[in-house]
């Protein structure tokens, strides 16, 4: 499907919009005929008679085609003669079959069969195909006779039709012709035989299906896909007895067959396959071990685990890694302990595969194994286990991690704190805060802050979280306070906002700055009045600028109503002194598309440092103009914009185009 409809637009609207253009250019006579038109409401017999009458009339081609299409749904034996009469009509032959193919009862079969002897070329090819679709056993003899036809398309159509009929009798002429069939039609004959074999196997005639598959397997000069398909059929039909063929192909050097066998082994439901292939693992060369691991992993049968885990211990490196992956893919917790024994393997890739594997193994037994090693292993193992605890999100590890976070080994301590922070939930907030308030280690503070932020963001009761954070503020050192202020921003809400505002007055400079930044980055417009007040009252220039910028930023918040956003812009405009903030103001106004915004933009047209951006903003607002826009103000702003932006011709052109457009709208 074309991605034109996946771009988020509404294609229906574009269709409607563009139909008018098409009408102008194509002079479309859109007699859009319903596939099931109004007459479908009439009783079926009456309706059928009308459709037959259409076919017997001098109606146009498309009307007759529509009648055939409708007869495919409701036609009975009554319509067969007239449809059959169209089979020789090169233009309507397809639609005649379209109607006939679904008509119930023997009349349609007989009509199609009768046409075999009268038609040639494509119409004949079509009729042969339809007899196949209808599984017409009575057509077998006539079809078989056409297998020697000089027209390759006819031969191929017959081969496929016999395949669709799919009986033992249908297979016989195909088998007979197979040795001598011209190369151009060989694939079609094979296809027919495959279909017969499938139908025979589906009806319990496995012995006959096997004969066909074996014949195809032994076909000389056969395309690889035929040999692969025949191997598949021969093995799957034989079930357990086909295993020797499977092994032979997997061991062999014919790569086409080996790949086929690989897929068959994945597909095969027979339970013994996994055991046989697992036994083969130890004997196979490394490249075949990779293939076997791929199959065994996908089969997901735990009986293969011992073999795979044995291979994982020793042998070719790539094969060992593949064995680990396969063992993990089987998804049995029994693999956990053996894999932990590989964590210190001399081959780094093997150790890494084992670690990744344990992370992905499902089951509480695996968690227990990880916890056991976390409590008893050496430093290297513990570090690895902490990583696994984090990846597996083993919440029951929290008490152990609490112990380790006081370990004298800094690497362990740090890892434990990071991991604890990742796993902690709302019940651990107090514990995290306790650890945070007196902490001065930057990495630990960052980890705890990250954890607190994640907990607050996912909390169903953010107010409760905020209460705990606010209560911790007075006890916190400056570094921790900064972290808490940022976390309050994540949590949000009025209480959090008030706490951050309170910290603006903190005597510590870092805390003070963090509080102002927190207000500036507040995720809702609730902070706007506080920022305005700070922008007006702050004694420090930096604070003033930061607050003003934060205030202007509120004009971009989607939760702030448009009138309030305009009010923010208006208020800010009177306070702005620097060009940087003027640019921020223009950016906010460009999105508002409010007529009054032009009054705020026009003065900027006279400021050299921002005039180009001001012109762009005038154009943006004018382009989005609505009926309530003052035409005079807009026109004046555009004229001025066009005049002063001589160094940017594309902007000038847009302004002129808009002016012209406005003229034409008068």
The b/e string for 3-33 (b: 16+ C-beta within 10 A; e otherwise) is eeeeeeeeeeeeeeeeeeeeeeeeeeeeeee
- CB of 571 vs another protein, minimal distance in Å: 32
In whole angstroms, the minimum distance from the beta carbon of 29 to another protein comes to: 6
Helical segments of 557-610, H only:
562-575, 579-592, 597-601
Rounded CA Rg of the chain: 39
List the one residue from 15, 442, 533, 631 that touches another protein (CB under 8 A): 15
* Using rule CB under 8 A, residue 322 touches another protein: yes
Should residue 97 be labelled a site residue for another protein when binding is judged by CB under 8 A? yes
Among 135, 172, 450, 648, binds another protein (CB under 8 A): 172
Per-residue binding letters, 488-527, with another protein (x by CB under 8 A): ----------------------------------------
Give how many residues touch another protein by CB under 8 A.
143
| CB closer to another protein out of 192 and 550 | 192
Residue 269 binds another protein, judged by CB under 8 A: no
Candidate list 241, 409, 623, 643; residue touching another protein; CB under 8 A: 241
For residue 79, give Cα distances in angstroms to 51, 83, 149, 177, 316. 9, 6, 31, 37, 71
> b/e map of 538-562 (b: 16 or more CB within 10 Å)?
beeeebbbbbbbbbbbbbebeebee
- CA distances 59 to 48, 51, 69, 435, Å, are 16, 11, 15, 89
Out of 88, 168, 446, 602, point to the residue binding another protein (CB under 8 A).
Answer: 168
DSSP output for 210-262: HHHHHHHHT-TT--HHHHHHHHHHHHHHHGGGGHHHHHHHHHSS-HHHHHHHH
The interface with another protein within residues 20-39 (CB under 8 A) comprises 22, 26-37
- With a CB cutoff of 8 Å and minimum separation 6, the contacts of 179 are none
User: Could you tell me the sign of the dihedral formed by the alpha carbons of 372, 374, 380, 386, in that order?
Assistant: positive
Give the Cα separation of 432 and 446 in Å (integer).
Answer: 12
Pick the stretch among 46-54, 61-69, 466-474, 617-625 that binds another protein (CB under 8 A). 61-69
Minimum CB separation from another protein for residue 551, in Å?
26
CB of 622 to another protein, least distance (A): 29
By CB under 8 A, which span of 128-136, 519-527, 574-582, 636-644 interacts with another protein? 128-136
Please choose, from the candidates 349, 360, 364, 351, the residue with its C-alpha nearest in 3D space to the C-alpha of residue 327. 360
Q: ∠499-505-507 over CA atoms, to 5°?
A: 120
Under rule CB under 8 A, residue 123 binds another protein: yes
Q: How many residues does the chain have?
A: 666
Site for another protein in 282-321 (CB under 8 A): 283, 285, 287-288, 290-291, 293-294, 297-298, 317-319, 321
Q: Which residue has the tokens 């279909």?
A: 195
Minimum CB distance to another protein smaller for 177 or for 572: 177
Q: What's the min distance (Å) between Cβ of 218 and another protein?
A: 8
For another protein, which residue of 91, 120, 624, 653 counts as binding (CB under 8 A)? 91
Among 52, 328, 548, 588, binds another protein (CB under 8 A): 328
Contact present, 615 and 605 (Cβ < 8 Å): yes
Tokens of 133: 């679709």
Residue of 59, 142, 334, 356 that binds another protein (CB under 8 A): 356
Q: Which member of 238, 405, 501, 565 binds another protein (CB under 8 A)?
A: 238
> According to CB under 8 A, which one of 144, 166, 194, 551 is a site residue for another protein?
194
Closest separation between CB of residue 189 and another protein, Å?
Answer: 12
According to CB under 8 A, which one of 6, 378, 650, 663 is a site residue for another protein? 6
Looking only at residues 598 through 637 of this chain, which bind another protein when binding is defined by CB under 8 A?
A: none
Main-chain dihedrals φ then ψ at residue 290, nearest 5 degrees: -60, -45
- Please report, as residue ranges, which positions from 439 to 468 form the binding site for another protein (by CB under 8 A): 454, 457-460
CB-count burial class (<10 Å; 0-12, 13-18, 19+) for 70 = buried
Nearer to another protein, 30 or 628 (CB): 30
Cβ atoms 406, 444 nearer than 8 A = no
Pick one of 52, 79, 93, 532: the residue that binds another protein (CB under 8 A). Answer: 93
Query: Does residue 284 sit in helix, strand or coil?
Result: coil
357 or 550: whose CB is closer to another protein? Answer: 357
Binder of another protein out of 24, 58, 180, 253 (CB under 8 A)? 253
What part of residues 203-222 is at the interface with another protein (CB under 8 A)? Answer: 206-208, 210-212, 214-215, 221-222
CB 482 to another protein: min, Å:
25
């Amino acid at each position: 499907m074309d991605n034109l409809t996946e771009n988020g637009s509404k294609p229906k609207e574009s269709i409607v919009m563009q139909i008018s253009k098409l009408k102008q250019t194509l002079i479309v006579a859109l007699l859009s005929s319903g596939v099931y038109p109004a007459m479908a409401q009439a009783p079926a017999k009456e309706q059928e008679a009308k459709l037959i009458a259409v076919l017997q009339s001098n109606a146009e081609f498309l009307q007759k085609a529509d009648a055939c299409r409708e007869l495919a749904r409701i036609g009975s034996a009554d319509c067969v003669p007239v449809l059959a009469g169209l089979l020789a009509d090169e233009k309507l032959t397809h639609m005649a079959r379209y109607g006939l193919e679904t008509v119930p009862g023997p009349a349609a079969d007989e009509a199609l069969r009768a046409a075999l002897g009268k038609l040639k070329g494509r119409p004949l090819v079509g009729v042969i195909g339809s007899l196949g679709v209808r599984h017409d056993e009575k057509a077998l003899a006539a079809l078989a006779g056409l297998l020697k036809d000089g027209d390759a398309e006819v031969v191929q159509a017959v081969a496929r039709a016999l395949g669709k009929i799919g009986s033992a009798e249908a297979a016989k002429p195909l088998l007979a012709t197979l040795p001598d069939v011209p190369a151009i039609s060989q694939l079609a004959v094979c296809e027919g035989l495959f279909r017969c074999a499938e139908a025979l196997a589906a009806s319990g005639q496995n012995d006959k299906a096997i004969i066909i598959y074996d014949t195809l397997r032994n076909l000389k000069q056969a395309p690889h896909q035929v040999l692969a398909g025949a191997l598949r059929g021969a093995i799957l039909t034989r079930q357990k007895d086909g295993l020797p063929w499977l092994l032979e192909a997997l061991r062999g050097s014919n790569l086409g067959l080996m790949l086929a066998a690989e897929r068959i082994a994945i597909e095969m439901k027979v339970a013994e396959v996994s055991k046989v292939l697992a036994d083969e693992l130890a004997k196979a060369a490394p490249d075949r071990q990779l293939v076997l691991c791929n199959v065994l992993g996908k089969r997901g049968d735990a009986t293969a685990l011992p073999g795979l885990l044995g291979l994982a211990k020793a042998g070719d490196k790539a094969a060992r890694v593949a064995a680990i992956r396969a063992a993990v893919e089987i998804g049995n917790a029994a693999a956990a302990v053996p894999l932990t024994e590989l964590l210190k393997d001399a081959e780094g890739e093997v150790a890494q595969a084992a670690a990744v594997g344990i992370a992905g193994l499902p089951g509480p037994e695996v968690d227990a194994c990880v916890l056991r090693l976390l409590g008893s292993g050496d430093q290297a193992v513990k570090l690895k286990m902490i990583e696994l605890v984090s990846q597996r999100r083993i919440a029951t590890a929290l008490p152990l991690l609490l112990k380790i976070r006081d370990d004298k080994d800094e690497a362990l301590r740090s890892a434990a704190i990071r991991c604890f922070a990742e796993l902690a939930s709302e019940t651990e907030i107090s514990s995290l805060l306790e650890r945070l308030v007196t902490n001065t280690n930057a990495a630990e503070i960052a980890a705890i802050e990250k954890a607190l932020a994640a907990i607050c963001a996912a909390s169903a009761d953010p107010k409760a979280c905020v209460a705990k954070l606010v209560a911790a503020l007075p006890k916190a050192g400056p570094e921790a306070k900064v972290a808490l202020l940022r976390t309050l921003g994540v949590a949000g809400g009025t209480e959090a906002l008030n706490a951050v505002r309170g910290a603006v007055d903190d005597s510590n400079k870092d805390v003070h700055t963090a509080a102002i930044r927190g207000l500036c980055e507040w995720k809702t417009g609730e902070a706007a009045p506080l920022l305005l007040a700070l922008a007006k009252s702050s004694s420090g220039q930096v604070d003033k600028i930061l607050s003003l910028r934060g205030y202007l930023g509120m004009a971009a918040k989607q939760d702030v109503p448009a009138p309030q956003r305009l009010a923010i812009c208006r208020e800010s405009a009177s306070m702005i002194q620097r060009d940087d903030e003027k640019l921020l103001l223009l950016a906010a106004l460009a999105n508002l598309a409010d007529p009054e915004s032009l009054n705020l933009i026009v003065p900027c047209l006279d400021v050299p440092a921002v005039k180009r951006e001001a012109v762009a903003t005038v154009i943006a607002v004018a382009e989005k103009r609505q009926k309530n826009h003052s035409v005079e103000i807009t026109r004046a702003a555009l004229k001025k914009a066009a005049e002063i932006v001589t160094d940017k011709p594309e902007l000038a052109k847009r302004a002129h185009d808009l002016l012209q457009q406005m003229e034409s709208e008068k």
